[in-house]
Structure 1
Amino acid sequence: MSDDHVYMTLAEGHEDDARWAYGTGFEDPLHGVDTTVPEGVDAGELAAVCVALADDALVSAQRLAEWITRAPELEEEVALANIGLDLLGQARLLYSRAGQADGTGRDEDAYAYFRDAGDFRNVRLAEVPCGDFAFSIVRLLLLSSWRLAHFERLASHPDPVLAAIASKGVKELAYHRQYAAEWTVRLGDGTEESHRRTRKALEQVAPYLGELFTAFDVRDEVVAVLRQVTRAAGLPMPVYRPLPGSGRDGEHTEHLAPLLAELQGVARAHPEATW
Structure 2
Amino acid sequence: MTTNNQSLLTYVLRLADSPLILSQRLGERCGHAPELEIDMALANIGLDLLGQARNFLTYAARLSGPGFDEDRLAFTRDEREFHNLLLTEQPNGGFNDTLVRQFLMDNFNQLLYRALSHSSDEQLAAIAAKSLKEADYHVRYSNGWMIRLGDGTDLSHSKIQQSLNELWRFTDELFYADGVEHELVQLGIAVDPESLRQPWLAQVGNTLKQATLQLPQETPYRRGGKQGEHTEHLGFILAEMQFLQRAYPNCNW
Q: TM-score, normalised by structure 2?
A: 0.90
The residue correspondences of 1:14-163 to structure 2 (distance < 5 A) are 40-163=2-125
> Which of 219, 225, 230 matches 1:252?
230
CA contact (8 A) 1:210 1:240 kept: no
5+ long unaligned stretches in structure 1: 1-38
Runs of 4+ aligned structure 1 residues displaced above 4 Å come to: none
Equivalent residue letter for 1:232: Q
Distance, in Å, in 2 between the alignment partners of 1:254 and 1:109 is 24
Distance, in Å, in 1 between the alignment partners of 2:64 and 2:249 is 23
> Which of 176, 193, 199 matches 1:221?
199
Give the superposition deviation at 1:240: 3.6
CA contact (8 A) 1:68 1:81 kept: yes
Q: 1:107 to 1:247 in 2, by over 3 A?
A: same
5+ long unaligned stretches in structure 2: 178-192
Q: 1:262 to 1:180 in 2, by over 3 A?
A: same
Matched length: 237
RMSD: 1.4
Equivalent residue letter for 1:246: G
> Which of 219, 234, 245 matches 1:241?
219
Query: Deviation per CA, 1:66-104, whole angstroms, max 9, x where unpaired?
Result: 111100110110000000000000111101101212335
Aligned residue for 1:71, secondary structure, equals coil
Partner of 2:186: none
Q: Does residue 264 of structure 1 match 2:226?
A: no
Query: Deviation per CA, 1:3-56, whole angstroms, max 9, x where unpaired?
Result: xxxxxxxxxxxxxxxxxxxxxxxxxxxxxxxxxxxx944332222111011100
Partner of 1:196: 158
Give the superposition deviation at 1:244: 4.7
Distance, in Å, in 1 between the alignment partners of 2:157 and 2:22 is 24
Distance, in Å, in 2 between the alignment partners of 1:97 and 1:166 is 12
Distance, in Å, in 2 between the alignment partners of 1:272 and 1:213 is 37
Equivalent residue letter for 1:58: L
CA contact (8 A) 2:19 2:53 kept: yes
Partner of 1:12: none
Distance, in Å, in 1 between the alignment partners of 2:47 and 2:20 is 9
Distance, in Å, in 2 between the alignment partners of 1:161 and 1:150 is 15
Query: Sequence identity, in percent?
Result: 41
> Which of 142, 145, 151 matches 1:183?
145
Distance, in Å, in 1 between the alignment partners of 2:165 and 2:87 is 13
Q: 1:244 to 1:233 in 2, by over 3 A?
A: closer
